[in-house]
Amino acid sequence: MKEVELVNGHLRFPALLTGDGEPVILLHGFPDTHENWAVQMKLLADAGYTCVAPALRGYAPSCQPGSGDYSLHAAVDDLLVFANQLGGRVHLIGHDWGAAVGYLACARYPESFCTFSALAIPPLKRLPKALLKVPEQIKLSGYMQFFQLPVAPEAWLKRDNLSGVDSLWHRWSPDWDPGLYLDNARHTLGEPGVLGAALGWYRHLIRLWRKEQRQVQEWLALDVRVPTQVLMGENDGCMSPKLLDHCINNDDFPAGLYVERLEDAGHFLHLERPEAVAELLIAHLKRGECLV
């Protein structure tokens, strides 16, 4: 496993690299770190793939833009630059925010992706209406409204050596001890500027007056013409798996849609059940070859 950097303009994104074969980009979410993909990357590399897991925009001091732009539009741009640096067409795996970026990128730029696997996030196109049909999700998503406030979210997350981060991990993946994974996440989120940047992703969601945000809304309405797999844990305390009942429509995925619910797994399903998730990921990677 090598530590490398991916570059977009003046921003430098720390990343992990391993394997030899078709390229796979793995994007993490919140409150997490790219380092926690290491186990999954080894399993995929053993199956014959080159795996690259970069930090998301803002999750290291070297990739925090002076403009403070943590929009999904900017994150999609980062991803496309990474894909070009790896040859132009890649497999994509995203968890949490990484999955949200993936849905948008694959909808807008399908020619850049061979396959897409979304972990812990149901398809976005029908998610707004699905929220009205799954009342429990309103409560589960309360943290997103809280994160719109100034100062208070940072204070809550930072208190007692980032105990707020611990609270989210245990709430979102109950009955599981994250151990070193949580330690890794706390270390990343404790770096200068990272916590504010991570919250910036949430705060950009409501900036609908920005042209870039309006473009993102347009991308949400597009079909995803990339073979797509959605994996969710049955015990997810962040995104209710019941959302799948209202978000899944095969017509939205002309290249194919595959959905799996994992028992005994919560929001961090790829860390809780690494072998089971890797088996599903590898099966999906084989459905679409990049090197053709």
Whole-number Å distance between alpha carbons of 20 and 104 = 27
Report whether pLDDT(131) > 60. yes
pLDDT at 209: 65
Question: Phi and psi at residue 58, in whole multiples of 5°?
Answer: 95, -15
Buried b (16+ CB within 10 A) or exposed e, 169-204: bbebbeebebeebbebbbebbebeebbebbbbbbbb
Alpha-carbon distances of 197 from 62, 66, 91, 102, 193, rounded to whole Å? 12, 11, 26, 19, 6
Q: Which of 110, 41, 40, 99 is nearest to 75 (CA)?
A: 99
pLDDT in tens, 155-200: 999 999 899 999 999 999 998 999 999 999 999 999 999 999 999 9
pLDDT at 49: 97
Angle at the Cα of 249 (from 247 to 255), degrees rounded to 5? 125
Which band of pLDDT confidence, cut at 50, 70 and 90, is reported for residue 291? Answer: low
Collapsing DSSP states into helix, strand and coil, what is residue 111?
Answer: helix
Q: Residue 44: CA atoms inside 13 Å, Cβ hemisphere, count?
A: 33
Q: Which residues make Cβ contacts (< 8 Å) with residue 135, sequence separation at least 6? A: none
The secondary structure of residue 55, as a DSSP letter, is P
pLDDT at 6: 97
Q: Which residues make Cβ contacts (< 8 Å) with residue 246, sequence separation at least 6? A: 126, 129, 130, 133, 134
Amino acid making up residue 132: L
Handedness of CA 175, 170, 179, 101 (dihedral sign): positive
Q: Which of 65, 75, 67, 110 is nearest to 96 (CA)?
A: 75
What tokens appear for 22 in the block? Answer: 């078709």
The pTM of this model reads 0.97
Q: Which residues make Cβ contacts (< 8 Å) with residue 183, sequence separation at least 6? A: none
pLDDT in tens, 85-120: 999 899 999 999 999 999 999 999 999 999 999 999
